[in-house]
Amino acid sequence: MASKSNSTARRKTAKRDKRKQKSPEMVKKLIALGVPSALADDWPLTPHLAGKRWCKKLKVEATGKHKVFYFGSLDNWQAAHDKYKAEVDDLIAGRTPESRDADGMRLLDLVNKFLHVKRALVEAIEPTLTLRSWYDLHQTCQRIVDVLGKDRIVESLNPADFEKLLADYGKTWKAVRVGNEVNRARGIFKYAFESDLVKSPVHFGPSFKRPTRKTLRKLKAKQRAEHGPRMFTREELRTILDAAPQPLKAMVMLGINGGFHNMDVATLRFAVMDLDRGWIDFARGKTGVDRRTPLWPETIESIKAWLAVRPEPKSPEDAQLVFLTKTRRPWHRLGRFENDDKGRAIAIGFSNPVSQAFRVLLDNLGINGRNFLALRHGFRTIARGAKDREAIDSLMGHIDASQAAEYIEDGLPDERLLAVTEYVRNWLFGEQVEPKGEKTKPQLRVVG
């Protein structure tokens, strides 16, 4: 049975290699490249002069699409021919031939394996990676391949290659983005070693690392000098709240009331919100840390004003979302996977309607250099005046990585959370009173 199968495979290969008569010019070119004249007429491979390699376009049965495969250097026709004969059936069937790993893992193969593994985390029943994060990893992989070359053997990479990659990052990105890209890139090669795809760790050299804290501090100081603090003044916030339409006004209130991010408000659900008692109790999406936020009367009033005009959602699955757009859809676009014309998976459909709508509002008001995240910056900055770091971190959804946190078995008392949010409320809506005497501390009078 096996002999018959092998015989059939040989006949298929022979039939596939039978080409129409080659032109005299092509025969001469093949002979000039070292192919024996007796083989030139039936030579199955094509010289890729730019890449100096032998190649062949094959139809992959699994996808029904044609793909170009390479089989070795032009200066060794015999090795390329042998490689083609050994691999052609596997390649057409969509399998990776074992001989392809003989020289080591190619960079393109590594990033494809890495992205395939990460995609499984996105599509799991309980996803541990967002599609947006997968897209960022895909962009990182694309840049690495573009700069270093898709056919580079991973184990041949050296510090000079990563210095080249770092220099390329610097052409288009600033320090913070460069740091994020460096971290992602290092993670890809760490995966290669830990997954036994390469025999030894890749050596990045001393330069390929995220910028130091000193560099980031200097950058932040420069940005502050050019654009001012990354938060809104009290007067700006009042102007924004007066001008913001619903539901954007309610979203802004949540941003300054409890340091809510744009994705926090975009994905807010009725199940976690109790307007009668004035609390929102939910885990922060980015960290999974539980957050319990007391709501100001002004915030509750704004949310209720929105709910009075909230339309029915276009899709029943969005019925639990507090905020909907004019088109009755969610205020977030998490993206989706689609296949391009070459059958490759791509992630599309990303957008951030909250950020976009807020940007339009700020432009109309002539307030520049900040975004929705500046509300969170403002909450954290003003809240420190309440002098309760633990309560502020809880409201922000920050992770307490200290050893002491391992011994705490319950949440913070509501009174401490209320004290922090009320302090910020007084700053925004209160009237400052001049101190009486040297030892009298400034006081705030609550309005309403």
Determine the Cα–Cα distance for residues 389 and 283; give it in Å rounded to an integer.
19
Average confidence (pLDDT) over 384-398: 91
> What letter does residue 221 receive in the DSSP assignment?
H
Element (H, E) at 58: strand 53-60
**What is the per-residue burial (b if ≥16 Cβ within 10 Å, else e) of 289-320?**
eebbbbbbebbbebbeebeeebeebeeeeeee
Q: With 70 as the cut, is the pLDDT of residue 18 above it?
A: no
* pLDDT score, position 323: 96
Assign 410 a pLDDT band (cuts: 50, 70, 90): low
Q: Which range, 116-120, 127-131, 335-339, 413-417, is most confident?
A: 413-417
Q: Residue 281 phi/psi, 5° resolution?
A: -130, 100
* pLDDT score, position 23: 87
User: How many Cα atoms are found within 13 Å in the side-chain-facing hemisphere of 335?
Assistant: 19
Which amino acid would we find at residue 445?
R
* pLDDT score, position 343: 63
pLDDT above 90 covers what percent of the chain?
A: 50
Which amino acid would we find at residue 326?
K
Task: Name the residue with higher pLDDT: 98 or 79.
Answer: 79
Residues facing residue 279 across a β-bridge: 274, 294
Task: Name the residue with higher pLDDT: 194 or 105.
Answer: 194
15: three-class secondary structure by DSSP: helix
Task: Name the residue with higher pLDDT: 85 or 217.
Answer: 85
Assign 406 a pLDDT band (cuts: 50, 70, 90): low
* pLDDT score, position 123: 83
Q: Which range, 131-140, 167-176, 303-312, is most confident?
A: 303-312
Q: With 50 as the cut, is the pLDDT of residue 246 above it?
A: yes
Q: Name the H helices within 48-157.
A: 77-93, 107-122, 131-148
In sequence order, what are the residues at sequence separation of 6 or more whose Cβ sits closer than 8 angstroms to the Cβ of residue 346? 138, 337, 338, 339, 340
Assign 373 a pLDDT band (cuts: 50, 70, 90): very high
* pLDDT score, position 437: 41
The CA-CA-CA angle for residues 36, 41, 45, to 5°, reads 80
Average confidence (pLDDT) over 126-138: 86
pTM of the model: 0.63
Do the Cβ atoms of 94 and 88 come closer than 8 Å?
no
Q: With 50 as the cut, is the pLDDT of residue 443 above it?
A: no
431: three-class secondary structure by DSSP: strand
Q: Which range, 232-246, 398-412, 433-447, is most confident?
A: 232-246
Determine the Cα–Cα distance for residues 336 and 350; give it in Å rounded to an integer.
8
Helix (H), strand (E), coil (C) string for 327-378: CCCCCCEEEEEEECCCCCEEEEEEECHHHHHHHHHHHHHCCCCCCCHHHHHH
Q: Which range, 53-67, 271-285, 322-336, 379-393, is most confident?
A: 379-393
pLDDT digits (tens, 9 = 90+) for 23-82: 889 999 999 999 998 888 889 999 988 878 899 999 988 788 888 888 888 888 998 898
Give CB contacts under 8 A, 24+ apart, made by 317-326. 320/269, 320/270, 320/271, 321/267, 321/268, 321/269, 321/270, 322/268, 322/269, 322/270, 322/273, 323/247, 323/250, 323/251, 323/265, 323/266, 323/268, 324/247, 325/353
Determine the Cα–Cα distance for residues 148 and 41; give it in Å rounded to an integer.
37
Average confidence (pLDDT) over 315-332: 92
Determine the Cα–Cα distance for residues 156 and 107; give it in Å rounded to an integer.
10
Q: With 50 as the cut, is the pLDDT of residue 325 above it?
A: yes
Assign 286 a pLDDT band (cuts: 50, 70, 90): low
Mean pLDDT of the chain: 84
Assign 5 a pLDDT band (cuts: 50, 70, 90): very low
> What letter does residue 200 receive in the DSSP assignment?
S
**What is the per-residue burial (b if ≥16 Cβ within 10 Å, else e) of 78-95?**
eebbebbeebbeebbeee
Omega of the bond leading into 247 within 30 degrees of 0 (cis): yes
Q: With 50 as the cut, is the pLDDT of residue 441 above it?
A: no
Tell me which residue has tokens 């339409």: 245
Element (H, E) at 294: strand 290-294
Structure tokens that stand for 274 in this block: 């109790």
Do the Cβ atoms of 383 and 424 come closer than 8 Å?
yes
- Pick left, alpha or beta for residue 380 (phi over 0 → left; psi -120 to 50 → alpha; otherwise beta): alpha
